[in-house]
Amino acid sequence: MTPSSPSPTTKDPAVAPGTSSPSRSPEDRSARIAVTVFPVLILAAAVFAFFVPSAGQALAPFTAIFLGIIMFAMGLTLTIPDFALVVRRPLPVLIGIVAQYLLMPLLGLGIALLLQLPPELAVGVILVGSAPGGTSSNVIAYLSKADTALSVTMTSISTLLAPLLTPLLTLWLAGSYLPVDAGAMAMSIVKMVLIPVVGGLVVRLLLSRLVDKVLPALPWVSVAGISLVIVAVVSGSTEAIVSAGAIVLLAVVLHNGLGYLLGYWAARLLRQGERAARTTSIEVGMQNSGLAATLAASAFAPAAALPAAIFSIWHNLSGAMLATYYRRSAEKHRSDAA
């Protein structure tokens, strides 16, 4: 989900001439800490839930509330100018959104078929692929010297489209595995995602000074929320973890890694620059796993939420590694050009 987000108004260190080294900026240090700490906390939450499942099962009825709080916090970080990029640079935004909602769902189906996953796990992988982009992608884009403003816009637009596209894609691709109530899923996304995000945006517009004061705390609100979601999901999936944990991890690693790769080359083949291609790569590979886990747990069997729970841990670890690679690549190109 969202370990931290650089402010949408923060200048991208890759393009801010005359600024100090991004590795020394407070925003960069904060983002690095969050990206490091977040997967550790999520892993700790998963381990706790696995060994103390009774505690996690008590939280299960409240997962939709936790997700709503996370999405409200996301809305508080948004401003109207975040959406202006759609008008100024529509092509890279369109490429990112289409790749997000085309490549990842089809990859999910392909991996489910390749690994011959049982129905609950197959639906879980497909649902992860059909979810919108995760807001932790904004931090990874920032650390990768990609286009942070483009990343924020892609995440915001894909999230607003989720009530329509996520249920339709899940019905289309996962309906052969298990019955899918697309209407009920769409209404759940409206309640858990769309209303909180729009509500947060409105509050930011009306009370901007007050919201600015609490912005530093919002990433940790999201960390706490997704940790509670993971505790609830894992506690109901202990048997599935024991019997199928390894195959689910393989599915998640393949899904995430191929998403990065195909997202990058989709942008490059459509004549986008290096920074836009990195951004698309990150946006396509990183999913709103908290939403996928909550939907899977409520609409299907608890085991269907397991891929999303593992994805939440893995994509933050892999994203941090990808950021290191992209960053070093950008610095090498800069030194070669000099």
Place of tokens 């108004």: 9
Q: Quickly list DSSP for 46-58.
A: HHHHHH-HHHHHH
Neighbouring residues of 163: CB distance < 8 A, sequence distance ≥ 6: 186, 189, 190, 193, 194
Q: What is the mean pLDDT of the chain?
A: 83
Which amino acid is residue 53, in one-letter code? P
Q: In the predicted model, what is the mean pLDDT of residues 99-117?
A: 95
- pLDDT score recorded for residue 115: 95
Q: Which residues of 303-321 are buried (b: 16+ CB within 10 A; e: fewer)?
A: bbbbbbbbbbbbbbbbbbe
Distance between start and end Cα atoms, the chain: 38
Which amino acid is residue 167, in one-letter code? P
**The most confident of 20-29, 127-136, 202-211, 261-270, by mean pLDDT:** 261-270
HEC string of 222-261?
HHHHHHHHHHHHHHCCHHHHHHHHHHHHHHHHHHHHHHHH
Domain boundaries, the chain: 22-331
Q: Please give the residue that has the higher pLDDT: either 286 or 40.
A: 286
Angle at 262 between CA 257 and CA 268, to 5 degrees: 135
- Report the alpha-carbon distance of residue 91 to residue 86 in Å, rounded: 8
Of the pLDDT bands very low, low, confident and very high (cuts 50, 70, 90), residue 173 is very high
Phi and psi at residue 116, to the nearest 5° = 50, 55
Angle at 14 between CA 8 and CA 19, to 5 degrees: 90
Instruction: Using a pLDDT cut of 70, give the percent of the chain over it.
Output: 87
- Report the alpha-carbon distance of residue 113 to residue 90 in Å, rounded: 34
Inter-residue contact 204 to 75 (CB < 8 Å): yes
Tell me which architecture the domain covering 22-331 has in CATH.
Up-down Bundle (1.20)
Of the pLDDT bands very low, low, confident and very high (cuts 50, 70, 90), residue 330 is confident
- pLDDT score recorded for residue 9: 44
- pLDDT score recorded for residue 262: 96
Residue 272's nearest CA partner among 31, 4, 70, 93 is: 93
- pLDDT score recorded for residue 256: 97
Inter-residue contact 328 to 335 (CB < 8 Å): no
- Report the alpha-carbon distance of residue 295 to residue 167 in Å, rounded: 10
Q: How many CB atoms lie within 10 A of CB 264?
A: 24
Q: In the predicted model, what is the mean pLDDT of residues 106-130?
A: 95
CA distances from 268 to 102, 137, 261, 262 (A): 17, 19, 11, 10
Inter-residue contact 152 to 8 (CB < 8 Å): yes
Task: Using CB atoms within 10 Å of the CB of residue 35, give its burial: 0 to 12 exposed, 13 to 18 middle, 19+ buried.
Answer: buried
Torsion (CA) 60, 61, 65, 68 in degrees, nearest 10: 60
List the structure tokens of 299. Answer: 């609409």
Inter-residue contact 154 to 286 (CB < 8 Å): no
Residue 290 scores a pLDDT above 70: yes
- pLDDT score recorded for residue 175: 87
- pLDDT score recorded for residue 31: 57
- Report the alpha-carbon distance of residue 108 to residue 95 in Å, rounded: 19
- Report the alpha-carbon distance of residue 146 to residue 140 in Å, rounded: 8
On the CB side of 36, CA atoms within 13 Å amount to 7
